[in-house]
Structure 1
Amino acid sequence: MRSLQYIQSSLLTASARCLETLSLVSAHSLALAGGIGGCFAGILVLWLLVVRKHKANVTSDRTSESDSLIQDDQTRNDLQRDHTPDAPLCSICAQLDFYQILLDDLPRDKAIPLGSVSSILKKSDQCGFCRLISSVVRRAWLLDKFPHLDLSGIECELFSLDCGCLLEPTPKPKKLCHRLSINAPDRPREIYPAIMAARTSLVLEIQLMEEDAFKFGRPTDLHGRRVNDTVDVGLVKKWLGLCEEGHGDICESVWWMGDNRSLPGFMRIVDVVSMAIVPAPPACRYVALSYIWGGIGAEYWTAKDNFAERSTPGGLNMTNFPDTIIDSIQLVRQLGERYLWIDTLCIIQDDIEDKTIQIHAMDSIYGGSYFTIYAAGGTSARDPLPGLRPRTRPPQQHIEVVQGLHLSVPLPPPIEALNLSAWSTRGWTYQELMLSRRRIYFTGQQVYFECKCDIFCEDVVAESKFLSSSTQPLRYKGAGNYTYLRKPTHTPPGQSVMDYMYAIGPYTRRNLTVESDIVDAITAMTNVLAKGFELGRGDPAKSFQFGMSLTDLEHALVWQHDPRTPRARRSITGEGKSAWPSWA
């Protein structure tokens, strides 16, 4: 009886607020009604018919604040099963009113002193909030790399500000999600080079989880979200849909490809339905994969002796495929896509001519993909995509209950998570990142989505239609790519060489298993520069040699060795490799 009263009450409340979101409640009600009585089931069915009739006349609009609040009611009902007791607090933290701090803006100039970093670290086993601060400080300051760092003179203070808005018009400040910020202005100078290299955040933040947003009368927008053992593929599909439907030509166009988006006639692709390698259908929508080979054997590669068999339906037998490839095929199927490009399967690996042709088309392959999957959570192709299957990623989220509020340390943003990966150290993966329009990163922390306009992830509720005025904590913390550039209408002197330096500099700090691949692994980038800036009349062969810009050779020749990296000349030995001139 209590369940029925709750259901009826929920239906009445929701219908008064928004009929669209009511479908979530009604579906839940119908599932429960089967186990109650026939009389009550009839009442519920009547309600459902009314709701569905009205719903047909309602247009979905995510910019409504009331819509968000109703969705929060459903979220709260789903998440309030957590009965974790309050964490103990130290004498300093016990005096804080966390509810009031999160309710009101507490500007930096009115920040509350928390004591020294060293004292907070020492109290982390006794105080829940000190434990959260310790967690974010250790990660952001890379304290595991500096175990003997003197932190005794560094003081911390606490303030609170809103962390963005996804709605129009912008609600009142008290209706916006707030985060707790830890200010420690006197960071040790010794850690700065490591922090900059790791791209960790200089802002130390603690977020409120979505199940407690209702306590402040706020929608769940931009609050923390629990990261489960497995990723919700439906959420990933939602990210793709928001981009495709809301960003229009911004995320569809590729500036160096122009209007000609047809795939090269020699391009092959994996059909994940027929499980065969097939010629890429003209203008087909396909997914690309970026991963680390990791020295794994060649038993699963496409070669001359198995190409014919693999070109027939059912010819791709996944028995010998490594986990990264098996999971990527499964993910593409779950997302409702059909075609997937994987280098080891789509390129005949023991055919030098085929490899050369395909390598010189990588700008079209990655630039033309609907999205690219980045397997950035392992060290070889044997590793699974973290979170796609159960027990493939250990929990990374740190949540504490403090004064009845669920607080957590936000997981690293994409740029930081990728910098922690072995994937980001490999040479071939650089252009695969830079040239893709939409990216889905599988990391050891969580799954991220990034396009030209937005960034989404599992641990922050940030899904919304893109608004020019909207802001959110991850907006400028993506990995970035070269597709952000637009075709130049006028190229000032030196612009092309500046872009060349921007593209090539980070690449040269990466590693290659075969050192003689140094030019091949960046050919897609130099192709883009030649085509986009019309260098050598748009012909890469006339504008680049040995990775050096011929049109700006006088500038390219003044490259300098990075003093922070080992001074070693790369080997160029290998089949089909010509000798390097001294100037390259």
Structure 2
Amino acid sequence: MTDKPWYLDSSDTEDNSDLCSTCCGIHFEWLLRHDLERKKWQRHVSGGSKNDQPRQIKLYWQGQWTDFVVPEIPAIPLGLLSDIFSKSNSCKFCNLVILAIAVKYETSPEDLQSINIDAYPFPLIFCSLGTRRKRNAEDEVYDLVISLGTIRDFHVFDNISLQRLQEHRVPWEGARVHEQINFEDARDWVTQFKPTHSDPGAVDDPLDGFRLIDNTKANDGRLRRPGSLASIDGGLPLTIADAMLFVSGIGERYLWVDSLCIVQDDEATKTIQINAMDRIYTSAMVTIVAMYGSSCHAGLPGVRPNSGRWKQHLVNVRGITLANSQTIIPTSGPKDWTTRGWTYQEHTLSRRLIFLAHDGIQYESEDGITTEDIHQPFHHAAEDDLPDGRGFPTGGSLWRAAGAIAVLMNFALAVHLYSGKTLTYQTDTLRAFEGVLNVMRSDLCRDFLYGMPSSELDVALLWRPIQHLERRLDDTTREELFPSWSWAGWKGIIHIPVFESTHFSRIIFVDAEDETEFTTSEWRGTESGLTTCDGVVWQRKPLDIDAPPGYFRDGKPNVMFPHPVSKSIPTGMQSRRFLREDSHTLTFNAFTAHISTQPGQGVLKFTKTELNSELDPGVNSRTLLDRYGRFCGTAYFHCDGSSGLESECFEFAAISRTAYGADNEAWEDPPEDDADVLALREGYAERETLRKMSDDRGAASYFNDYSCELKWQAYDVLALEWRNGVACRVGVGFCLIEAFWDAEPVRKRIPLA
């Protein structure tokens, strides 16, 4: 088989001891240096040979012997898992395969054949061997990949990696793992990063009340004494005690733990600390993450001997040390840390993180993500501030290093990811997000209102539910915590549509104190064209084919904004107030219209050019109908029809003007007074033929087929429900601008709570 370099003839090597007849013929050294799939494909298209013909095996299954065809491409067939299991006592590579599979599925090798693997019966599982290039490795280095598939259709349902271990440090290649954490390796990883201004001790303005040991005010004096933690009744929680051992083990001195370092019954100090979480995380040398464990008593696997964690198995084949690879955060098992609300900013703002889990250790930094069974890469100081393509900007720079992504898009993404997290106390909703808001406040140049950027408030109001939402209530009083117009007022995952078309405001805000009217453009400080009140000249450029244009200041092309905005609030706007201190009612003037609806299925994707019909069943999607019963828009309500939204006609407020569909947008901005649509208002009835396409082809293709006379042909709208003279937001959507004006809208003042 000289034309198959991945195979060995038995005469090519004398070191075949402890290998079965199948494994004797595998050229492991070749596989660890070559792309098997590419080589096999090249051989296949060149004609191959008669040895490439598929072979058949017989398998006794369900009372009869059945022929199954074993394909040759794209991997090397190892055989049935049951056969590999039977050979594992005599073949060391087969034994490694069995051990690796058992570790992956968290069982013992002895019990492996008695369970279903990924819901497939053990006798029907077939194994094959392939290769996968090591990501980021400088040389062409490959891992071995064991593919598990079903013999009936050869559907591959799982892959398990094996890697070569290197005795000396070769970045990105395999490393030895022991039962207890190798603290020296962890210390080497932490200390290789150069100190920066955000390192501990480098903060010029110390945080008021910051401490590294605490409990309650009553114990504060006692706990400041050396060794006092050991005297706490019942001892320290295991996770905290293990964290202390870990910090000591890597040669560091200080540890910050929120439950001990924040005075829990001192609201003034507690508020200061919570509002400064961005400073705490960005100043930390590294953040230790307990990946699993539903309480502080779960401990950190691997810190202590015999604490139970991932097992590395080794075998030497012809002088090559092979071992199973770690897979952090598996598809099965608890993931408590990833689901909690408070951990979102912990992950986002930390400069570097060490994740400790029962299935191994994961390191995350600007150099990328690695695991403890891989030799860590050498850190390049030049990459500390500007990470390369494979790394991850950390410590709050996540929002600024993205380059072409506008700051509002970063905010929208952060809210989307955070909205799916869970909180024990609903009153913590904005507290647990405050660190992220602190980092983004300087980029957005204005403050936030209940988690909504005031410089882009008209766009932020358009957030959409993408699953069933429930009002967020106070844990004790059961009263509504936040206003209906803020995403923070609802529990559930939401999306802010800033990745689509540009949105041009059509509302005027009303000062909460003296009722003076003002626009977001005035609030941003836009004086004329692309010049702001601070004298800065802005430029406009497109982001990409699926995103609206962005604006940037002269000399700073990598910080993109949805609109020009001055660094400070204009002099004439400094007294303006969106809200009173004792109220969360937001007041603005807008046109509203009553429009009929019927149950619908359409939902807009996150890109402006596509529509689809998939929607979480918890969202009450409704199709908007004009007075002729034709489709004229879609709305998504926060709750389902059983939650008091049985009405078929709703009042909708026009928030901004926008466009949907690939052919219905212009580079020029629409007129601010919508004069173009008013000129066409009388001819709406005569254009019924064009609108009929929505019936013939469906809403999914409507916007690309309808020959609109208006380029910016839709309004972003909010569905309103009035309660005692105050409006509440119950849904959001869009309405064709011609249909909206045909519904005879009226301009009114809307107090939105």
- TM-score tier, shorter chain, comes to 0.5 to 0.7
Relative to 1, partners in 2 of residues 1:327 and 1:107: Cα closer, same or farther, differing over 3 Å?
same
Relative to 1, partners in 2 of residues 1:115 and 1:203: Cα closer, same or farther, differing over 3 Å?
closer
Letter of the 2:474 counterpart: I
1:382 to 275, 297, 302: 297
Q: Mapping of 1:98-117 within 5 angstroms?
A: 98-104=28-34, 106=36, 108-110=38-40, 113=73
Partner of 1:572: 474
Letter of the 1:409 counterpart: N
Secondary structure of 2:162 counterpart:
strand
Secondary structure of 2:288 counterpart:
strand
Ranked by relative contact order (alpha carbons within 8 Å, sequence separation 6 or more), the top structure is 1
CA deviation profile, 1:293-346 (whole Å, cap 9, x unmatched): xxxxxxxxx122212322344443454211111122233233333332211112
> Retained in 2: the 8 A contact 1:108–1:159?
no
Structure whose CA Rg is larger? 2
Secondary structure of 2:354 counterpart:
strand
Q: Mapping of 1:178-577 within 5 angstroms?
A: 178-181=142-145, 205-210=161-166, 220-244=170-194, 261-270=203-212, 277=214, 302-317=215-230, 319=232, 320-402=235-317, 405-413=320-328, 421-466=335-380, 476=390, 482-486=396-400, 495-531=406-442, 533-536=443-446, 543-563=447-467, 567-574=469-476
CA deviation profile, 1:509-540 (whole Å, cap 9, x unmatched): 12212233222111111111113x0431xxxx
Return the alpha-carbon distance in structure 2 between the equivalents of residues 417 and 476 of structure 1.
24
Return the alpha-carbon distance in structure 2 between the equivalents of residues 161 and 550 of structure 1.
47
CA deviation profile, 1:77-107 (whole Å, cap 9, x unmatched): xxxxxxxx97654x54443222333355545
Secondary structure of 1:207 counterpart:
strand
Q: Tell me, which stretches of 5 or more residues in structure 1 are unaligned?
A: 1-84, 167-172, 196-201, 214-218, 271-275, 278-301, 470-474, 537-542
CA deviation profile, 1:418-451 (whole Å, cap 9, x unmatched): 9963211211111111101122222212223322
Return the alpha-carbon distance in structure 2 between the equivalents of residues 133 and 480 of structure 1.
37
Q: Mapping of 1:98-137 within 5 angstroms?
A: 98-104=28-34, 106=36, 108-110=38-40, 113=73, 120-127=80-87, 129=93
Relative to 1, partners in 2 of residues 1:269 and 1:127: Cα closer, same or farther, differing over 3 Å?
farther
Deviation, 1:261, is 3.2
Note the aligned Cα RMSD (angstroms).
4.7
Partner of 1:581: 483
Return the alpha-carbon distance in structure 1 between the equivalents of residues 375 and 124 of structure 2.
36
Relative to 1, partners in 2 of residues 1:567 and 1:479: Cα closer, same or farther, differing over 3 Å?
farther
Relative to 1, partners in 2 of residues 1:148 and 1:335: Cα closer, same or farther, differing over 3 Å?
closer
> Retained in 2: the 8 A contact 1:546–1:580?
yes
CA deviation profile, 1:218-260 (whole Å, cap 9, x unmatched): x75543222111112121111122222xxx65xx669xx9x99
More strand by share: 2
Return the alpha-carbon distance in structure 2 between the equivalents of residues 440 and 318 of structure 1.
29
More helix by share: 1
Deviates more, 1:549-558 or 1:498-507: 549-558
Secondary structure of 1:179 counterpart:
strand
Return the alpha-carbon distance in structure 2 between the equivalents of residues 306 and 519 of structure 1.
29
Letter of the 1:579 counterpart: L
> Retained in 2: the 8 A contact 1:105–1:162?
no
Letter of the 1:340 counterpart: L
Deviation, 1:207, is 0.7
> Retained in 2: the 8 A contact 1:208–1:224?
yes
Return the alpha-carbon distance in structure 2 between the equivalents of residues 358 and 459 of structure 1.
36
Secondary structure of 1:269 counterpart:
coil
Return the alpha-carbon distance in structure 2 between the equivalents of residues 327 and 188 of structure 1.
48
> Retained in 1: the 8 A contact 2:366–2:393?
no
Secondary structure of 1:388 counterpart:
coil
- Taking structure 2 as the reference length, what is the TM-score of the superposition? 0.48
Relative to 1, partners in 2 of residues 1:571 and 1:461: Cα closer, same or farther, differing over 3 Å?
same
- Taking structure 1 as the reference length, what is the TM-score of the superposition? 0.60
Q: Tell me, which stretches of 5 or more residues in structure 2 are unaligned?
A: 1-15, 42-71, 107-114, 384-388, 487-753
Relative to 1, partners in 2 of residues 1:450 and 1:162: Cα closer, same or farther, differing over 3 Å?
closer
Return the alpha-carbon distance in structure 1 between the equivalents of residues 310 and 105 of structure 2.
21
Secondary structure of 1:243 counterpart:
coil
